[in-house]
Amino acid sequence: MEGNPLLLAAESVLLRRIQTVFVDGPSSSGDGSGPALRRLEAELLGRGHLLSAELHTALGSLGSEELAAAHARLVGLVDDLFGSDRVHTPLFRRFPRTVPRGTEALYVDRVFAFLLQQPDHPCVLCGEARTVFPVSPCAHLVCRLCWDGSDYAGCPVCHRRIDANDPFLRPVRAVGAAKAPLPGPLRLLRLGTERAADAGAVVDSLLARRTPLSPQDRDDLLTLLPLTPAGRGLLPREIPVRETKAMVLGALLRDAPDGLPVQELLTERLTTATDVLRLLAVLSDGDAGLVTLSPFTSPPRPLRRELLAVLDALPTPYLVEDVLRHPTAWKRAAEVLHPFERHARHPRAALAFAVLRGTPVDPGTAFGAALLETAAAHPDAVRVDDSRVDDGRVNEGRVNEGRVGRVRLRPATWAGRLEQAVAEGDAGRAAALAGERPGELVRRLDVLLRLHTCDTLVPELEKALLRGLPKVGPGPLLSALGALRVRTEDRTGRRRVFFPRGEVTRALSVPERRAPLSIGLVTAAVTLLEAELLRRFAAGEPYELSVLDADLADLTVPFTERSTAKALVAVPRGSTQTLPDGAVLRLFLHWTEPQGNRTDLDLSVAFFDAEWKFTGLCDYTNLVHGPQAAVHSGDLTSAPAPQGATEYVDLDLARLAARGDVYAVPLVFSFNNVPFEELPDAFAGFMALPAQGPRDASYDPRTVRQRFDLAGESRVCLPMVVDLGRRRMLWTDTHLTSTGGFQSIGSHGGDQLATTARDLWDQFGSGSRTTLWDLAVWRAAARSPEVAVVCREPEPALLRYRRRPDEDAAAFAGRVSALEDAEERRPHPDPDAAVAELACGTRVFLATVHGSIGPARASGTCYRLFPGAGDASESLNRVTAGDLVAELGSGL
């Protein structure tokens, strides 16, 4: 594998996703490898990883050279995963101890030195002579007495990085050993045996997803695809997500394996006009999601013919509507497809483009006559508009009267008819129309319910739901259910938050002006939606037992994943997590600037009280907030390769809460407006450090709890909101609109930031999103006769539920979800151990936040967010949240 970039990239993906390591190299007796293997074990343990027995044996069988190579490769992969392979040196190298409290006085000294200091003159600050020298590369004049070269990593005047060999820099003086870090979750590394099989399993699960893939998943899919049968054109029968399908087809057409049946592949796989558009975008190195538009490249003539043939074979009403959904993109695509060139071969495709472009049609030409003939055959899709000619004059004649006049073709769409019915308040007709397209029916369910004048569903809507719900994808189904459950509440004065589709996720909030819906309407609709989810889950293989963690209620079902940040832990947006007790939260930021483009990123934190009033900040303008409650490591203003730059902010949660701060809002700003996507390397995250004892500026991978990439056309990132008193973190993974330059908390305003953070906190705390607890309960109730629930608050306890003889799945799920009426409820000091013993040797569905439950000899399915002892089980099939959602669409 050495030197093969494809296999190296694949190994990195498999290590991160399934903790699998492949051992290559000739076996030996292992003599003499004991000390070397123990060194490898020690280094991995220091990075939060353990070797399984099989992997330990396989590594021990390598010769010394092979083991050394495996050591370097494995440690390098783990370091890259946590970001610890970069150089992390903040401005104040002895942070947090040497950070000056008086940021204003420090700023005054810097300004004096910048404006008044002259070469060969005494220092303007201390008056000493022969102590002032320029530093490289900025050439600012710096006094060696006033500024401590053993502490500063950048120029004290402008804070740009200093060349490593500049004499101003001196070794860091020791300040006492830092306290041992709080241990994070341990990850168990397993021995892989078949790269192709493991890669194929990951690829199959990604292709089966029913929601758009995250950027990390998209990259992983394309990395692993060449190792699998799918990379040779042997695709699964269905790829539900259309942009995923376009990515795979684009990769296949670009590489074109021998014998690839292009015509058959396109005819079978491209089932909508937007499928064709997505494929064109991918082949032009663009975005399969069509969020951003890149110039289209002209496809080869044979492929162009095939794509036009696909469009021509689609039902004309759907073709016209689909083209009109992306008018700008399709107009650009027409420039490379040339749909009018062979209009007789592709008449319906030519018709759709004539409608899109508003092309004047002259009945006196062969082209115009052909278009009008095709239009006459499809009155449900288009109509002839002959009210005006090209110059704007009224056309006195009618085409069907035989008079010559140029006309235009207009769409006659289903959406227009539905909007008219809604505008007229006709609940029955609107429901019947919406029922023709089940996905739209569910997306517009709230609108349809608002048309009701009674507390029961109109027959047309009930009939449409019963007929249409089995055809709806899991994403719209789960979103509609979550939104409906809170619609009986009067939310006057509250705000609604939307997450518009985009390259990065931005939050848009508006006042809530909708009147609440009646309890009867909501109950009837929710009952139908939940019944459909239970029906789908019941189609899978049964379990003897389900073990659920009540803390799953803190995790939302993933949504808008296509703009999710690449992260160490895939926490769904909108989820909350408890922060470690007795810990200081260390926020970190690292970036490298593009060659020749100085880039200044800033790590900042804004603080608010219980009423979301601004109480202060910790950033480059205020390095210390409160009595060492929040401490900033200093503002580095450049990040040249290869070192880059690092900034920290230490948050002592107890001290912050004691001084009256209730919420902390961390932010990452691109101060000089360079988009994150232009940076070759940029990531942030947080660590958990001990609150007591000394701390230093080291970057210890054992303490890293989350790490995420900064990417996309964005300059401001709001990754999370922290409740300081309850020690809770809301993962927002959201970006803010930039202010045009010189981004900072000051430029955005404390009130504006408070509004955004408060709206996000209220939105995700309102219960309007389905959670992984909901998903796990439905799955367990549909497929298990017994459910055990681990509760950790207010005291550790184990609850056991058994399905009663006369109880249907919905009633069983209702009891479990409410944590009421259990057959057995008993406090237990260690419920994880108790439930592991209960599940021993059974076929079990295990769903937990932390992977701390590891039942012996158990088989079945396991979901966990964080790694733990349960990962040691080889017989449990580990799945992701996306896999659980995808299961709901397996029968569509």
pLDDT in tens, 85-131: 999 999 999 999 999 988 999 999 999 999 999 998 999 999 999 99
Q: How many residues does the chain have?
A: 892
What secondary structure, in 3-state letters, does 601-619 show?
EEEEEEEECCCCCEEEEEE
Q: What is the pLDDT of residue 175?
A: 54
Alpha carbon distance 143, 164 (integer Å)? 18
Is 386 in the same domain as 434? no
Residues 468 and 498 placed together within one structural domain of the fold: yes
Residue 522 lies in a domain: yes
* pLDDT above 60 (res 392): no
Give pLDDT tens digits for 423-447: 999 999 999 999 999 999 999 999 9
What is residue 398's predicted lDDT score, i.e. its pLDDT?
41
Residue 5: the pLDDT is 77
Range with the lowest mean pLDDT among 61-75, 315-329, 832-846?
Answer: 61-75
**Residue 686: inside a domain, yes or no?**
no
In the chain, what percentage of residues exceed pLDDT 70? 94
Is there a contact between 772 and 847 (Cβ–Cβ < 8 Å)?
yes
Q: Residues 438, 399: one domain?
A: no
**Shared-domain flag, residues 866 and 781:** yes
Interval 403-416 mean pLDDT: 78
Of 367, 391, 372, which Cα lies nearest the Cα of 383? 372
Strand partners of residue 605: 618, 666
| Residue 56 lies inside a defined structural domain of this protein | no
Q: How far is Cα 154 from Cα 138, in angstroms, rounded to an integer?
A: 10
SS (H, E, C) 497-538: EECCCCCCCECEEEECCCCCCCHHHHHHHHHHHHHHHHHHHH
Paired tokens of 499: 């997450």
User: Are residue 455 and residue 478 in the same domain, yes or no?
Assistant: yes
pLDDT tens, 20-46?
Answer: 999 876 665 555 468 889 999 999 988
Mean per-residue pLDDT of the chain: 90
Average pLDDT over residues 834-855: 92
Q: In terms of pLDDT, which residue wins out, 467 or 193?
A: 467
Encode pLDDT of 228-279 as tens digits. 998 888 889 889 999 999 999 999 888 776 656 777 888 889 999 999 999 9
Tell whether 158 and 268 lie within a shared domain: no
160 & 294 share domain: no
Domain boundary among 536, 570, 598: 536
Whether residue 265 sits in one domain with residue 158: no
**Distance between CA atoms of 758 and 493, rounded to whole angstroms?**
13
Return all residues near 569 (Cβ < 8 A) that are at least 6 apart.
705, 706, 865, 866
Cα of first residue to Cα of last residue in the chain, in angstroms, is 41
- pLDDT classification of 397: cutoffs 50, 70, 90: very low
Is residue 678 situated within a structural domain? no
Position 180 scores a pLDDT of: 56
pLDDT surpasses 90 at 294? no
Angular region, 238: left φ>0, alpha ψ -120 to 50, beta rest? beta
Say if 22 falls within a structural domain. Answer: no
Percent above pLDDT 90 for the chain: 67
Same domain membership, residue 549 and residue 531: no
* Centroid of chain to Cα 786: 34
Listed in sequence order, the residues at least 6 apart from 736 whose beta carbon sits closer than 8 Å to its beta carbon are 506, 667, 716, 717, 718, 748, 756
What count of other Cβ atoms lies within 10 Å of the Cβ of residue 425? 11
Please check whether residue 710 lies inside any domain of the structure.
Answer: no
Identify whether 276 is part of a domain: yes
User: What integer pLDDT is reported at residue 89 of this predicted model?
Assistant: 94
Residue 402 confidence (pLDDT): 43
Q: What is the CATH number of the domain that holds 154?
A: 3.30.40
In angstroms, rounded to a whole number, what is the distance separating the alpha carbons of residues 23 and 81?
Answer: 19
Average pLDDT over residues 638-646: 95
The Cα 350–Cα 367 span in angstroms is 10
Structural domains of the chain, count: 4
| pLDDT bracket for residue 531 (50, 70, 90) | very high
Residues 355 and 435 in one domain: no
**Residue 181: per-residue pLDDT:** 59
pLDDT at 399 over 60: no
Residue bearing the bigger pLDDT, 80 or 404: 80
The upper half-sphere exposure of residue 407, i.e. CA atoms within 13 Å in the direction of its Cβ, equals 26
Which residue type sits at 140? Answer: H
* Runs of H (alpha helix) within 238-315: 242-255, 262-269, 273-283, 301-313
- pLDDT band for position 692 (50/70/90)? confident
- Domain span at residue 456? 428-536
| Average pLDDT value for residue range 45-68 | 88
Model confidence pLDDT, tens digit, residues 540-554: 999 999 999 999 999
705 within domain boundaries: no
* Averaged pLDDT, 878-884: 92
Closest among 377, 374, 386, 392 to 410, alpha carbons compared: 386
pTM: 0.89
| pLDDT at residue 30 in the model | 53
Pairing of strands 716-723, 663-670: antiparallel
**Cβ neighbours of residue 68 under 8 Å, at least 6 residues apart?**
36
Query: Strands, DSSP E only, in 630-767?
Result: 630-632, 645-652, 663-670, 681-690, 704-709, 716-723, 728-735
- Same domain, residue pair 367 and 442: no
Residues 398, 432, single domain; the answer is no
